[in-house]
Amino acid sequence: MDWLVEKKGLILVNVHPDYTRFPDEPESKDTFPVEHYINLLKYIKDRYTGRYWQPLPKELAGEMERKSGNAEKLKS
């Protein structure tokens, strides 16, 4: 992650609860402990505060429309 940030790369984290193991759930080869995700978010917050964008889906869609020049076209 640090290397990607240094190179001004994009990091997309896509997590689905079906593949996240929460406390008191049995271990499975298809899931990972939620603590891994929590640790990742803490690392990003501690190391990169103020340097990342965490948009809502509507905000991301609006930004993509704006950048593509299709904002008015997509609204009609």
Chain segment 46-56, per-residue pLDDT in tens: 999 999 888 99
Residue 73, pLDDT score: 59
Please give the tally of structural domains in the chain: 1
| Cα–Cα dist 21/33, whole Å | 5
Dihedral sign from CA coordinates of 26, 27, 31, 36: positive
pTM listed for this prediction? 0.69
Range of the domain at 23: 2-75
Strand 20-21, strand 32-33: pairing: parallel
